[in-house]
Amino acid sequence: MAEVATLQRADELPLDYRSGLDAQNLLPAWTLLRALMPVGAAAPVAQPAQWSYAKLRPYLMRAAELVPMEKAERRVLGYVNPGLDRARLSTLPSIFFGLQLIMPGERAPNHKHIPAAARIIIEGEGAYTTVDGEKLHMEEGDVVLTPPLHWHDHGHEGKGPVVWMDVLDHPLAVPMDISYVVPGKMADGYNEQPDAGDTWYSCPGLVPYRAPGARGPDYPMRRFRWQRVKQALIASSEVASRDESVHMRYCNPETGESIMKTLDFSARMLRPGESVALKRASINRVFQIMEGNADIRVNEAAYGCGKNDTVAAPTYSAITLQNTSSSPCFIIQVDDLPTQTKLGFYEELA
Ligand SMILES: [Fe+2]
């Protein structure tokens, strides 16, 4: 590599010059250049981190006593990365994870917003989300989508607490100064028709017939049932060769594109004892353990994980996933690959 010049620091400039620049809304860019573009390789600020559901759950349950729904709108405990400014409310620089709790009979009011959201259902039954009036039942492990600027609310008609993981892309939208929410009126009721995943998109490979050139809806399917995903992973593992990863991507059934424009969701099955080393790449990745136990190594950190635990792996991390249970381990991965490929930023390291 060529010799790297040491650039001038701001405090090496005369004070009157700096205050003159300040008054003109100017900064000497060379004094910040190395921080913005470290030489040779990125130096992620976010840190590898783990959140243990068993340790977090009591705090979440206590939130039900401490904050009524009308004072929270959404009762969510955010997973904040220890390396990032807490006010960013970010699990990784482009991804937010946070646990949401809803108690029997509660309703989280209708609203719509610019950040896109998806939920991964963690525990409990009887809750639902509606998106533009389409009622989506939430069963454990399901992924439920609420796209940007689509009206949505949540309710709970069952017994006991229901918890789901909120996954949002507000860490991308907020720095762009485009994030906002529009509160709406509580809907009077919903039709009880099955959702699109049980009707128009219930058969893999089959989509509604359209005129030539006609485009389908941007978000045709908003609920991806875990039981079907798991079934597909198990069936695929039975035909996959031993060295082939069983890893499948959630996609828009009309286009094959990612279910969120910004974030990719995919599901993995690790066979008992299986260990997978992932490619080092520029993407931010979060792993959510759905079933089984795993050791997740991120650079020098090693995390023993069980069901419902979460691990965040910053950009360019060396990552190994190992199933430590005697049964299959299922993991949902969320990453910002769609954003990075659209921006032309994605790279893999050799
Ligand atoms: Fe929302």
DSSP 280-333: PBS--EEEEEEES-EEEEETTEEEEE-TT-EEEE-TT--EEEEE-SSS-EEEEE
Calpha distance 339→347 (Å, rounded): 12
Cβ-count burial of 187 within 10 angstroms (0-12 exposed, 13-18 middle, 19+ buried)? middle
Distance in Å, CA 169 to ligand 1 centroid = 12
Distance in Å, CA 177 to ligand 1 centroid = 18
Distance in Å, CA 112 to ligand 1 centroid = 6
Question: For the residues 118-139, what does the mean pLDDT come to?
Answer: 95
The answer, as to whether pTM is greater than 0.85, is yes
pLDDT at 240 over 80: yes
Given a contact cutoff of 8 angstroms between Cβ atoms, the answer to whether 167 and 117 are in contact is yes
Distance in Å, CA 301 to ligand 1 centroid = 33
Distance in Å, CA 290 to ligand 1 centroid = 23
pLDDT at 283 over 80: yes
Burial 15-35 (b: 16+ CB within 10 A, else e): eeebeeeeeeeeebeebeeee
Distance in Å, CA 217 to ligand 1 centroid = 20
- List of domains in the chain: 49-185+192-202+222-343 (2.60.120.10)
pLDDT, one tens digit per residue, over 178-235 is: 999 999 887 667 778 999 999 999 999 999 999 999 999 999 999 999 999 999 999 9
Distance in Å, CA 279 to ligand 1 centroid = 33
| Confidence label for 2 from pLDDT (cuts 50, 70 and 90) | confident
Q: Where are the beta strands (DSSP E) in 3-133?
A: 49-51, 76-78, 96-102, 107-113, 117-123, 127-131
Distance in Å, CA 201 to ligand 1 centroid = 24
| Confidence label for 1 from pLDDT (cuts 50, 70 and 90) | low
Distance in Å, CA 98 to ligand 1 centroid = 12
Question: For the residues 311-339, what does the mean pLDDT come to?
Answer: 98
pLDDT at 11 over 80: yes
Q: Looking at per-residue confidence, does 161 or 73 come out higher?
A: 161
